[in-house]
Chain A
Amino acid sequence: DTGVSQDPRHKITKRGQNVTFRCDPISEHNRLYWYRQTLGQGPEFLTYFQNEAQLEKSRLLSDRFSAERPKGSFSTLEIQRTEQGDSAMYLCASSPRVGLNTEAFFGQGTRLTVV
Chain B
Amino acid sequence: DQQVKQNSPSLSVQEGRISILNCDYTNSMFDYFLWYKKYPAEGPTFLISISSIKDKNEDGRFTVFLNKSAKHLSLHIVPSQPGDSAVYFCAASVYGGATNKLIFGTGTLLAVQP
Contacts and interface: CB of A to CB of B under 8 A. Distances in A.
Interface of A: 4, 6, 31, 33, 35, 40-45, 48, 50, 55-56, 91, 93, 95, 101-109, 111
Contact of A42 (B42, B43, B93, B104): B104
Interface in B55-114: 89, 91, 93, 95, 98-107
Contact of B101 (A33, A40, A41, A107): A33
A45 B103 contact: yes
A interface majority secondary structure: strand
A101 B51 contact: yes
Given A43-B44, A108-B43, A109-B42, A48 B101 contact: yes
A102 B91 CA distance: 12
Interface of B: 4, 6, 31-32, 34, 36, 41-46, 49, 51, 89, 91, 93, 95, 98-107
A42 B91 CA distance: 9
Given A4-B43, A106-B45, A108-B43, A101 B102 contact: no
B87 to A, nearest CB: 9
Nearest to A42: B104
